[in-house]
């Protein structure tokens, strides 16, 4: 084991050694001790376990540059493996910014496999096969079920099995052991897998997984060819190693050929693609076999409250990452009567933050499933909040919804009749709890249910506005106006994404919607491994937040035309306990400083800040409960439900922001003038214990 070497020691050793050493020293600027240890480790197998926000990309790119500048690596012999073209492009750009003269090859497993195969085919003067343009069409031809839903589900199972190196004869047993939804009669998927491969060979076409299989086959079949490839590619770097699947890992082993020049970066807490074939245990095995393991556990993105709550989402015994930024507000948890009220509360909070100086680009709303975005996008649009979809097309951009909208928009159709047929179909597919089928099928049904809800809104609004019968053409125009797509990419907007789609992104303020049983964890997660992955997925979503994190859930949620009772996620109690424990560890003066800093940021540098700081001995949670007591007492006296006065989310927001003037109260709570004039005196009394001020 190599001892950790500090930046100062390395710099001292290099002084007087020339410009090249000075350049190497500059690569260590701004790194902490463990990052330096990872960058300067010997060439043997090194595994970096990089926690969320710990600077893994910086470490990876500087590691490549360090070895090149120190003469340990020929840049032409480097292979940096990523999982997306975007990640590969970012790595290349960072290398250029580090001043490397020669480009470093960076790309996906599939892109390098295809390059290798093309050279092999050219060398042998073999006519290369074509890349398959439609997997679903070919699956249909070999006997997969006739509906689009079944085809997509079968395709997902074929991809999973091949990524896991599972032969057709072993599929049924392996799928059941993994808790997957085995489609059709026993042996059905296995038979489709066999026919699918045979038909591809007959037509001389290959899919993306075939590229990896064929690259492995060539390396195993010809020793001299394999050695030539290994001579060319000597130094391997793998990003996001927790996402590697067995097929990719087998190709990596073939490329290495038993050598040890391998540097991998991964985070076991962010392994969220097991459903797609990845195996997080491969990272554990890599760490066990490594000559050196470096843990990066300092998070540079989030404050301590967010990190404590995120760790608690993984389980009670998980230690949080170290917060470089120190103290910050604890995450909030808000319940709402319906999913519409949840979306309205999120819209109000976003609007309030915007009015208090935040940019729209500082904020994001994340949800577990694509279909949840429909109602959120609708309510944010109604509130004038610009939105941008990230990581996917959104429910209205999905193939099944676009096809259904096209069908509903045909001239001369009876829209009501078509809508009734859609609702009947959804009712047959949906379970009484609102939890639908598994995997891709569940997502498609949920997307169609979101569409059904919007069509009902359109029909009702059309009747109310004009009394005319709603038309299919009118529906298409209405949807285009309401959900016309992303704003211009250069314009500020709130990002909307699923938990999966948010991976690799970050925002100062993040709202998580629908943190309730059935979504978190997802209804079809049953096995221990599936539930563990759902916990990790929630952790990934929570650690996207830098300054503020807000979790929401609804007592009732509408699926299609059915309103379903919901329960909070069972993991919220642990998250709340983790937040409380974090707050208890903070010294009183730290809490006071945190409040002053937050007050100055949100309320401006004014005398009211000092008055607010004087009362900081009352914690945010205590203030929230005091506001609840006031609200409920007032509601009973008026004979109305508490939410009619102010909902829980607004009270949470008030306890966090602590407005001290009528003007600030109007911005934070988003109150109409009549309601503001009625509630302001009592609310400000609760919030400040001071006489009411009317200035800004």
| Token code pair at residue 101 | 């003269």
In a domain, residue 1? The reply is no
Say whether both 509 and 602 belong to one domain: no
- How far apart (Å, rounded) are the C-alpha atoms in residues 521 and 538? 8
DSSP track, 275-336: GGT--THHHHHHHHH-SEEEEE-EESSS-HHHHHHHHHHH-TTPPPPEETT---PPPEEEEE
What CATH number did the domain enclosing 669 receive? Answer: 1.10.150.80
Say whether both 221 and 185 belong to one domain: no
- How far apart (Å, rounded) are the C-alpha atoms in residues 219 and 216? 5
Say whether both 368 and 478 belong to one domain: yes
In a domain, residue 693? The reply is no
- How far apart (Å, rounded) are the C-alpha atoms in residues 301 and 294? 20
Count of domains in the chain? 4
Element (H, E) at 367: strand 363-367
In a domain, residue 197? The reply is yes
Say whether both 369 and 489 belong to one domain: yes
Strand partners, 548: 509
In a domain, residue 696? The reply is no
Answer with the one of 183, 203, 223 that is the final residue of a domain. 203
Provide the 3-class DSSP secondary structure of residue 380.
helix
| Crossing angle (nearest 10°) for helices 339-355 and 662-669 | 140
Residues spanned by the domain of 141: 130-203
Block means of pLDDT (10 residues each) for the chain, 696 residues, are 43 47 74 95 92 94 91 89 84 78 84 95 93 89 69 88 96 91 86 95 95 97 96 94 97 95 96 92 94 95 95 93 90 94 95 91 95 91 91 72 79 78 73 49 76 76 61 71 56 93 95 96 90 97 97 92 91 86 55 44 38 47 85 81 77 82 77 78 78 38
CA 253 and chain centroid, separation: 30
Element (H, E) at 49: strand 46-50
Say whether both 529 and 637 belong to one domain: no
What CATH number did the domain enclosing 195 receive? Answer: 1.10.10
Say whether both 348 and 485 belong to one domain: yes
| Token code pair at residue 650 | 């607004």
Answer with the one of 584, 601, 627 that is the final residue of a domain. 584
Say whether both 236 and 383 belong to one domain: no
| Token code pair at residue 121 | 């085919």
Strand 562-565 versus strand 545-559 pairing type: antiparallel
Say whether both 163 and 108 belong to one domain: no
What CATH number did the domain enclosing 430 receive? Answer: 3.40.50.300
Answer with the one of 203, 227, 251 that is the final residue of a domain. 203
Say whether both 108 and 255 belong to one domain: yes
Say whether both 574 and 595 belong to one domain: no
In a domain, residue 85? The reply is yes
- How far apart (Å, rounded) are the C-alpha atoms in residues 486 and 517? 30
In a domain, residue 684? The reply is yes
In a domain, residue 160? The reply is yes
The DSSP secondary-structure symbol of 398 reads S
* CB of 291 closer than 8 Å to CB of 246: no
Say whether both 258 and 147 belong to one domain: no
Say whether both 151 and 241 belong to one domain: no
Provide the 3-class DSSP secondary structure of residue 132.
coil
Closest to 654 in 3D by CA, of 634, 678, 671:
671
In a domain, residue 600? The reply is yes
Closest to 538 in 3D by CA, of 562, 568, 563:
568
- Predicted confidence at residue 623, as pLDDT, reads 87
């Amino acid at each position: 084991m190599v001892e950790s070497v500090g930046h100062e020691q390395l710099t001292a050793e290099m002084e007087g050694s020339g410009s090249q050493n000075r350049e190497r020293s500059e690569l260590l600027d701004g790194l902490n001790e463990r990052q330096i240890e990872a960058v300067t480790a010997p060439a043997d197998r090194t595994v970096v376990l990089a926690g969320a926000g710990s600077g893994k990309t910086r470490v990876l790119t500087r590691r490549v540059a360090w070895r090149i500048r120190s003469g340990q690596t020929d840049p032409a012999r480097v292979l940096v493996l990523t999982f997306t073209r975007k990640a590969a492009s970012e790595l290349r750009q960072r290398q250029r910014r580090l001043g490397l003269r020669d480009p470093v090859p960076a790309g996906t497993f599939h892109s390098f496999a295809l390059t290798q195969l093309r050279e092999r085919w050219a060398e042998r003067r073999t006519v290369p096969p074509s890349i398959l343009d439609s997997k679903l069409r070919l699956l249909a031809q070999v006997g997969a079920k006739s509906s689009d839903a079944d085809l997509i589900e079968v395709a997902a199972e074929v991809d999973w099995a091949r990524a896991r190196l599972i032969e057709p004869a072993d599929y049924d047993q392996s799928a059941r052991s993994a808790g997957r939804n085995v489609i059709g009669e026993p042996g059905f998927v296995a038979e489709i897998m066999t026919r699918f491969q045979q038909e591809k060979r007959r037509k001389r076409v290959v899919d993306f997984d075939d590229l990896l299989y064929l690259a492995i086959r060539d390396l195993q079949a010809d020793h001299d060819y394999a050695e030539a490839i290994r001579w060319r590619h000597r130094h391997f770097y793998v990003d996001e190693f927790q996402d590697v699947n067995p097929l990719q890992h087998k190709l990596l082993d073939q490329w290495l050929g038993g050598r040890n020049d391998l540097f991998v970066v991964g985070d076991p807490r962010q392994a969220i693609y097991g459903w797609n074939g990845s195996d997080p245990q491969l990272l554990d095995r890599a760490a066990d076999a490594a000559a050196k393991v470096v843990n990066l556990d300092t998070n540079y993105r989030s404050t301590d409250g967010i990190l404590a709550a995120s760790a608690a989402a993984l389980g009670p015994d998980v230690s949080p990452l170290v917060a470089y930024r120190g103290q910050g507000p604890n995450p909030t948890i808000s319940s709402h009567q319906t999913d519409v009220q949840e979306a309205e509360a999120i819209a109000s909070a976003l609007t309030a933050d915007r009015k208090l100086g935040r940019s729209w680009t500082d904020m994001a709303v994340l949800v577990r499933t694509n279909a949840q975005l429909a109602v959120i996008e609708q309510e944010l649009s109604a509130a004038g909040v610009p939105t941008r979809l990230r990581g996917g097309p959104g429910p209205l951009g999905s193939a099944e919804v676009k096809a259904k909208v096209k069908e509903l928009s045909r001239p001369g159709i009876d829209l009501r009749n078509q809508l009734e047929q859609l609702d009947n179909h959804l009712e047959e597919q949906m379970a009484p709890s609102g939890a639908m089928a598994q995997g891709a099928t569940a997502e498609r049904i949920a997307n169609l249910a979101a569409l059904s809800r919007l069509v009902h809104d359109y029909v009702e609004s059309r009747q109310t506005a004009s009394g005319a019968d709603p038309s299919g053409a009118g529906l298409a125009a209405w949807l285009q106006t309401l959900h016309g797509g992303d704003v211009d990419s250069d314009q500020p907007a709130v990002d909307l994404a699923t938990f999966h789609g948010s991976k690799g992104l970050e925002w100062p303020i993040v709202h998580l919607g629908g943190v309730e049983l059935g979504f978190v964890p997802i209804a079809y997660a049953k096995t221990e491994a599936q539930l563990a992955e759902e916990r990790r997925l929630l952790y990934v979503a929570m650690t996207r937040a830098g300054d503020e994190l807000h979790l929401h859930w609804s007592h009732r949620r509408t699926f299609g035309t059915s309103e379903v009772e919901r329960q909070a996620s069972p993991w919220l109690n642990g998250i709340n306990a983790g937040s409380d424990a974090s707050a208890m560890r903070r010294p009183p003066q730290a809490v006071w400083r945190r409040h002053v800093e937050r007050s100055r940021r949100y309320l401006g540098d004014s005398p009211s800040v000092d008055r607010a700081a004087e009362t900081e001995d009352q914690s945010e949670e205590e203030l929230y409960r005091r506001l609840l007591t006031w609200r409920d007492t007032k509601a009973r006296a008026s004979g109305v439900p508490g939410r009619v006065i102010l909902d829980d989310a607004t009270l949470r927001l008030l306890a966090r922001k602590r407005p001290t003037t009528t003007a600030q109260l109007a911005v934070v709570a988003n109150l109409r003038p009549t309601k503001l004039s009625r509630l302001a005196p009592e609310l400000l009394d609760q919030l400040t214990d001071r006489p009411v001020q009317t200035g800004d």
